[in-house]
A and B are shown apart, each in its own frame.
Chain A
Amino acid sequence: MSREASRRGAWLAWVVQALLVLAVLAGAAWVVNHALEVLRSRGVRSGFDFLTEPAGFSISEGWIDFDASQPFWRAFLAGLVNTVRASVPAAIFSVVLGTLIGIGRLAPHVLLRGICTAYVELLRNVPLLVQLLMLAFAIANLLPDPTEPVRLLPGVWLSKGGLSVPWPVSVEGGWWPTHFEWPEKGDFGVSGGAALSPEYVTIVAGLSFYSAAFVAEIVRAGILSVSQGQVLAGQALGLTSVQQLRIVILPQALRVIVPSLTNQLLSLVKNSSLAVAVGYPELVSVANTTIGSNGRAFECIAIIMAVYLLLSLLISFGMNRYNARVALRGWR
């Protein structure tokens, strides 16, 4: 290509790109304008001003008390807090359970391997929504009434009314928790400790079990990526098999595991939006109720998307920092 022609090519490229930008902007402007017009013609107001108006619905659970007279923005905040309240324990449980199962899939014991493989294959191939609905049904119908709870562990009671666990509390007026409050069984059900609602138990348990199957596969692939020679070297040095795993294999496997694990955590947080189907009031559920009450679909969906993007960015940022720590230094 001559110099002249390549200059003309570059010029052409910029013209095409400028036209593309114009087309995208014009398309977006038309969509927004048209949508606003249709809304106006149907007598629906638009804009984010509704956020300061009273919501008219209440949210039964979560760390932020919310009743019907409080404004919408607080409802969204309560929903966001509920999303985090469900995702963080689910993330921790799924990583712990998934790591154990992933290691179990490579264990030198055929029964243990078989059980772990069965777990992964069973849970990975059924949609999360079906698992959540099944759990919700099982908790609501098959468990005993709240007046006759079953004791899973000392201080942990399970019934149709949900799960009660010990919870750290502080003495009157103190900031720092000083002792655990243990739930106790009375005539009218369990009192004390932290009472977790059936919806909350469903979403946390469902997310944990489902994600654990995927985490197990990631952990397994990570361990398999460590070269056989490393294990033999560990054996030659006289390390026990637990030491081999802890000192030699896992630190190297982490380099392979962490990037995939980041993806899995991102999808776990996004999957927590399925709680809308089992009645746990997280962000998507709050937005859905809001759309039902005032028809501000555009704004509510914009809020959902913005919040999830923000959460995703935060997780990516945190996990990338962690990744930089476990990554191999020097060689690139």
Chain B
Amino acid sequence: MRNVAQGPIAWRSELWGSPLRVLATVLLLVLLAWGGFHVVDWGVLHAVFRPDAEACRAVQHGACWGVVAEKWRPMLFGRFPYEEQWRPAIAVVVLSAVTVLSAWPRSWRWWLVPLWIAALLLFVLLMRGGVAGLSHVPTSRWGGLPLTIGLAVVGLALAFPLALLLALGRRSGWPVVRTLSASYIELVRGVPLISVLFMASFLLPLLWPAGWQPDVLVRVLAGLALFVAAYLAEIIRGGLQAVPRGQTEVAMALGFGRWPVQRDIVLPQALRLVVPALTNSVVGTLKDTSLVTVVGLFELTGALGLALGGDPTWRPFYLEGYLFIAAVYWVLCFGLSRYSVWLERRLGEGAR
């Protein structure tokens, strides 16, 4: 089973090594050729790439990529004012640049924190406007890719400190703190995200004083952060458990206090251990942001519905639209999961 050899020589014996293998190879090749032919035939040979609805309708068995050519801006930026869409575009680039920079272990220094704060401020400034000559755009008109990425990034940033407290609380020597943390984590992990989002959009308004309605974006963000925190807390707890007890004892013997031990000795090691698991959680959160479309926010998935749903000319070509946003999600998530694999290997080298 596991002797999966590498290289073309091994492949040749895998493919043609025995009569059974020859049979399997032929069957699979036929299957691949048949599937590949249909995909290429539909997606490339008979496809319409121009934003021409007439041509799209005339084609019987072919994709209409013209829908993407025509609607890519509302798909990517939602209802953001058309002439101002350079602002969300720059906002996305800024967040992505900071994310890529922090993905590199060598840049894990203290200056990342102020950099992130600056990037998030710039993001909000560009999206919201209202200062420096930028026109004000209410959050109800934010949408598409900037909303997807912004929700994931800000949601994770808010969730992380809470997760840290919950993870430490669950390992605390104080039974009350332990019970409260454990109940919170188990309660939140036991329910679907969608019910947390419904709660955020239906229930939170009841708690605010009458007359002041918090923005739906803020409420959804709060729900997302509270939800993600429970999952991150369990990952961090795993890391904390993996740090040998001896480390704590040695530090205590050297005269460290309870908190400095956690802050300077246990936490850095624990977090380093779970960075790959945290990256996987980031992928999950990025995918989960698609659910906010159910409570009426137009992130990538919602923006597609918005762009095509109200337009009878292009409505028949939903499938191509879905394939386009699926490709956007795929690139983001696949990139992150490859990164997680790379990071695991790199951190593993350092540890050995």
Contacts and interface: CB of A to CB of B under 8 A. Distances in A.
Interface of A: 13, 16-18, 20-21, 24, 31, 34-35, 38-39, 41, 106, 108-113, 115, 121-122, 124-131, 133-134, 137-138, 141-142, 223-224, 228, 231, 241, 244-245, 249, 270-271, 273-274, 276-277, 284, 287-288, 291, 297-298, 301, 304-305, 308-309, 312-313
**Top 6 closest pairs, chain A to chain B, by CB:** A125-B333, A297-B202, A17-B176, A127-B290, A270-B192, A127-B287
A13 B187 contact: no
B37 interface: no
B99 interface: no
B333 A126 contact: yes
16 contacts: A13-B174, A20-B180, A41-B210, A109-B14, A110-B15, A111-B28, A124-B333, A125-B334, A126-B330, A134-B326, A223-B2, A276-B194, A277-B293, A284-B192, A297-B198, A301-B203
Given A228-B2, A274-B291, A34 B190 contact: no
B11 A110 contact: yes
B195 A112 contact: no
Contact of A304 (B3, B4, B14, B191): B191
Given A34-B207, A125-B334, A21 B24 contact: no
A20 B177 contact: yes
Given A125-B283, A130-B322, A134-B319, A309 B190 contact: yes
Contact of A129 (B2, B14, B290): B290
Contacts of A288: 198
Contacts of B319: 134, 137-138, 141-142
B161 interface: no
A212 B4 CA distance: 23
Given A31-B207, A109-B14, A301-B198, A127 B288 contact: yes
Contact of A137 (B195, B198, B293, B322): B322
Contacts of B173: 13
A276 B294 contact: yes
Contact of B194 (A21, A38, A127, A273): A273
Nearest to B319: A137
Contacts of B180: 20, 24
B218 interface: no
Nearest to A309: B190
A307 B70 CA distance: 45
Given A34-B206, A38-B206, 6 more contacts: A35-B203, A39-B206, A110-B14, A124-B333, A270-B193, A304-B195
Interface string B24-35: 110011001000
B24 A308 contact: no
Nearest to B322: A134
Nearest to A305: B191
Given A109-B15, A137-B318, A130 B326 contact: yes
Interface residues of B, number: 53
Contacts of B193: 270
Interface of B: 1-4, 11, 14-15, 21, 24-25, 28-29, 32, 173-177, 180, 187, 190-195, 198-199, 202-203, 206-207, 210, 283, 287-288, 290-291, 293-294, 301, 316, 318-319, 322-323, 325-326, 329-330, 333-334, 337
Nearest to A241: B1
Contacts of B326: 126, 130-131, 134
* Residue among A18, A41, A126, A137 with max Cβ neighbours from chain B (10 Å): A126
Nearest to B10: A110
Nearest to B305: A133
Contacts of A245: 1
Looking at chain A's contact residues, the main secondary structure is helix
Contacts of B191: 270, 304-305, 308-309
B241 to A, nearest CB: 15
Contacts of A224: 2
Contacts of A137: 318-319, 322
B41 to A, nearest CB: 15
A110 B323 CA distance: 28
A111 B15 contact: yes
- Residue from A129, A142, A274, A309 having most chain B Cβ neighbours under 10 A: A129
Q: Which of B194, B207, B291 has the most CB of A within 10 A?
A: B194
A128 B2 contact: no
Give the most central of B21, B316, B326: most A CB within 10 Å.
B326
Nearest to B331: A125
B68 to A, nearest CB: 15
B330 A122 contact: yes
Given A130-B325, A276-B194, A244 B24 contact: no
B291 A129 contact: yes
Contacts of A112: 24, 28
Nearest to A271: B192
B301 A129 contact: yes
Contacts of A142: 319
Contacts of B316: 141
B283 to A, nearest CB: 7
Contacts of A244: 1
Contacts of B198: 284, 287-288, 291, 297, 301, 304
B199 A301 contact: yes
A277 B14 contact: no
A41 B209 CA distance: 11
Contacts of A270: 191-193
B31 to A, nearest CB: 8
Contact of A17 (B21, B174, B203, B334): B174
A125 B3 CA distance: 28
Contacts of A125: 283, 287, 329-330, 333-334, 337
B97 to A, nearest CB: 22
A288 B174 CA distance: 40
Nearest to A37: B206
